[in-house]
Amino acid sequence: MKQFPENVIDLIIADPPFGIKFDGKGSQYNRDSDLVIDGYNEIAENYDQFMVEWVSQLPRIMKETASAFIFSGWTNLKDV
């Protein structure tokens, strides 16, 4: 997001990945690793730092009247 100029975004809707590993947890989420789209990246152990890095850019790139909606699983809500 660092390449975005200031005050250009009207709306942000984000559902950042929370790094479900499919090694034994798949049944808890009713997911099949074969259905994951190409290019999906697991977020490193430092999820909180990942969130800080991109969320800290939002005030700079968003217009004064913009809105941001960030979805999160309950286990990572503290980092949002």
Ordered by start, the domain boundaries in the chain are 9-79
18: pLDDT confidence band, cut at 50, 70 and 90?
low
The torsion of the CA quartet 10, 13, 18, 21, rounded to 10 degrees, works out to -130
**What pLDDT score does 72 carry?**
79
- More confident: 11 or 19: 11
- More confident: 32 or 58: 58
31 and 20 Cβ atoms separated by less than 8 Å: yes
**What pLDDT score does 5 carry?**
96
**What pLDDT score does 47 carry?**
77
